[in-house]
Amino acid sequence: MEQKEDKLKEVISHAKEYGFVFPSSEIYDGLAATYDYGQLGSELKNNIKSYWWKSMVQMHDNIVGIDASIFMHPTTWKASGHVDAFNDPLIDNKDSKKRYRADVLIEEHIEKIRQKIEKEVEKGSKKFGDSFDEAQFRVTNPNVLRNAQKIEEIENRMRQTLEDNDLEGVYNLIVDLEIVCPISGSKNWTEVRQFNLMFSTELGSVAGDASTIYLRPETAQGIFVNFLNVQKSGRMKIPFGIAQIGKAFRNEIVARQFIFRMREFEQMEMQFFVRPGEEMKWYEYWKETRSNWHKKLGLGDHNYRFHDHIKLAHYANAAADIEFNFPMGFKELEGIHSRTDFDLKQHEQFSGKKLQYFDPELNQNYVPYVVETSVGLDRMFLAVLSASYKNEKLEDGSERAVLSIPAALAPIKVAVMPLTKKDGLPEKAMEVLNLLKFDYNCQYDEKDSPGKRYRRQDAIGTPFCVMIDHQTMEDNTVTIRDRDTMEQIRVAISELNGIIDQKVNIRTLLQ
């Protein structure tokens, strides 16, 4: 656990030192759970957006993208259920005065039991060696079975109490499980209360209920209210999707773990409109497609897993998370939700406007069902940054901090360097940079020794360094150094584009 926390701390400090992420308004001591992306962070963020947009919108001829406003008519949120049901069950520890999400406390307790099972399996594997049959062990070992049953009982009780909005039941479950506050170690809990997560503000100068509007807590509703606009103006045929990238806001009570849980964050969402009855087929399709999208980044397939929701959101009939192995452990990165026709039907009812599709093949009008993919851009950023950050021991005994960011996402693709600051080398280096900058985000660097400059570029994840030396002046060749292998080869300047493009072009991820 301590090791994991250390890793997160290292990532946070590296992100700040090199201009990826800063605490927001830091000169005023910051604002809790808000962060600013720096000069390299905003490049990385843009590249992640571009990977998502290209693969979702440009690579699918039946998906289009929009950019809806953050403020929406307040009835939107009444219809979507967010005014009444977008709540977190909260509980306070009276001794530490810390506030927790009650369901998260219970889920963490379940995770501990799960870890006990894994330890038991590990013990079995060590004991029986090659003859170990894990599947058999999991269904016969008494300790594993007892713990698995415990988990099932807790999950059932949690699901039931949350579904029934039985807050006393949730409290009793926490007490029965003897869950203690991680800070104070005490079981001195308050009752459980519901807390709405939407930020509200006033429209114009008149205060009062009539002018209360909300900062959108999800981008999805901007898509639902535009369903017919897009369908008609784009002559879209079902099945089709509408995608959007944009800010969302939630008054998270337990906002922590760096950019993982913030009050202002960005989502990349896509609503896929399908025929009623076909939603489960598309739900499975998008689970697989999105999982492949993540794995293509090469951060390690073992770092991803699916988690089926126990408590379904008020709009869903099936939902799963793609979890990523963050420095804090496996946590939600993306949600895939089968949202039924809930949202469109609600908007029909509250607006009095029909939101239906005429299906020419069925010769029938219907309200489409929706399968949604929703990934947090900031969580993607944290996944890429934390999985790429390494402190490597090199063969010569030295160390280097390196960000092995997927080359296509790297903030800077090429650093161009003159070996020395004289003999016309800087001018030649600028000439090379001026050739490359039309295609790649480049950086010029002439300060310090070449070794130090290479380390600086490794630390920000630059896939290539191009060195201009005295031979360049004679035969127009340069050395190009690969971030990952640290190998340098001499090539003609005219070959640079081809070599760089092969590795950093976003096509490498999309194909």
Residues that bind ligand GAP (CB under 6 A): 218, 220, 250, 252, 261-262, 265, 267, 269, 332-335, 372, 374-376, 378-379
DSSP letter for 197, please. Answer: -
Strand partners, 444: 416
Consecutive H or E run containing 401: strand 399-403
Least Å from the CB of residue 73 to ligand GAP: 18
Q: Is the CB of 265 or the CB of 454 nearer to ligand GAP?
A: 265
Least Å from the CB of residue 51 to ligand GAP: 15
> Which residue is at the shortest CB distance from ligand GAP?
376
CB atoms inside a 10 Å sphere around CB 166: 16
Least Å from the CB of residue 465 to ligand GAP: 34
Consecutive H or E run containing 244: strand 240-249
Least Å from the CB of residue 314 to ligand GAP: 11
Least Å from the CB of residue 267 to ligand GAP: 5
Q: What tokens does 160 get?
A: 């039931």
Least Å from the CB of residue 66 to ligand GAP: 15
Q: Is the CB of 170 or the CB of 262 nearer to ligand GAP?
A: 262
Least Å from the CB of residue 81 to ligand GAP: 12
- Note whether 214 and 198 are within 8 A (CB): yes
Q: Is the CB of 307 or the CB of 400 nearer to ligand GAP?
A: 307
Q: Look at strands 399-403 and 35-37 and give their pairing.
A: unpaired
Q: What tokens does 181 get?
A: 């506050």
Q: What angle do CA 183, 188, 190 make, to 5 degrees?
A: 105
Q: Is the CB of 56 or the CB of 375 nearer to ligand GAP?
A: 375
Place of tokens 């397939």: 301
Q: Is the CB of 44 or the CB of 460 nearer to ligand GAP?
A: 44
Q: Is the CB of 86 or the CB of 189 nearer to ligand GAP?
A: 86
Nearest-CA neighbor of 401 among 358, 452, 326, 447? 452
- Cα gap 45→298, rounded to integer Å: 17
- Cα gap 455→494, rounded to integer Å: 26
Q: Is the CB of 385 or the CB of 417 nearer to ligand GAP?
A: 385
Q: Is the CB of 93 or the CB of 267 nearer to ligand GAP?
A: 267
- Cα gap 380→385, rounded to integer Å: 8
Least Å from the CB of residue 84 to ligand GAP: 16
Place of tokens 């269904």: 139
Q: Is the CB of 120 or the CB of 378 nearer to ligand GAP?
A: 378
- Note whether 224 and 353 are within 8 A (CB): no
Q: List, in order, residues 6 or more apart from 57 with CB less than 8 Å away.
A: 63, 64, 65, 243
Nearest-CA neighbor of 242 among 376, 62, 79? 62
Least Å from the CB of residue 152 to ligand GAP: 24
Q: Mapping DSSP to helix (H, G, I), strand (E, B) and coil, where does residue 408 land? A: helix
